[in-house]
Amino acid sequence: MAEESSRAWAGWIAFAATIMIVTSLINICQGLIALLDDEHVVATPDAFVLVDTTSWGWTLLFFGVAVLCVGGFLLSGMNWARIVAIVIVGLHAVVQVVSLGAYPVWSILMIALDTVVLFALTARWTPAAEALREQNERISATAGLPGDDTLHRNLPHETTPMRTFRDT
């Protein structure tokens, strides 16, 4: 039962890392757009706190790369990545509060998602991180060629391999 609970929390950590990676890719795209083509950045002075489009672009780009790296290390179960991820996700939520006037729906959705990610990062870390590391080691140790079914047996959700025409 405890092992099953640890694997479930490992899934939460994988979820948090995946959301961080997806959010980082969105931030990188937004940063590149702000740097390369100012015309596509929609911000009115009375609804958004913005100093300069170029500095905002560089901030988004730097922040996106940092979150991408931390999300990758978080998938491998590193303890330091958890601490850094908590700080970065907290800062991301604060930035969303600042942009609430310009992008209300997006900001509220991001704040809600940041809250779920913070929950995943702060609840039951030790057993979940150990389960995530064990799972990564098991997958990397037994990963076979595409025709081999060992890869299917070691997926996190433990599904049975699909039957193919050659199996019938």
Series of mean pLDDT values for 10-residue runs along the chain (168 residues): 62 88 92 78 58 79 93 86 92 86 86 92 70 70 52 45 51
Question: What is the C-alpha R_g of the chain?
Answer: 20
Local structure of 115: helix, strand or coil: helix
Q: What confidence score (pLDDT) does residue 50 get?
A: 58
Q: What confidence score (pLDDT) does residue 61 get?
A: 92
Q: Structural domain tally of the chain? A: 1
From 163, 48, 53, select the one nearest 101 (Cα to Cα).
48
CB 67 within 8 A of CB 93: no
The DSSP secondary-structure symbol of 131 reads H
Amino acid at 94: V
Angle, helix 2-36 to helix 53-75, in steps of 10 degrees: 160
- Give the domain extent around 12: 2-167
Q: What confidence score (pLDDT) does residue 149 get?
A: 46
From 50, 47, 11, 46, select the one nearest 34 (Cα to Cα).
50
Q: What confidence score (pLDDT) does residue 123 get?
A: 80
Q: What confidence score (pLDDT) does residue 111 get?
A: 94
Does pTM top 0.75 for this prediction? no
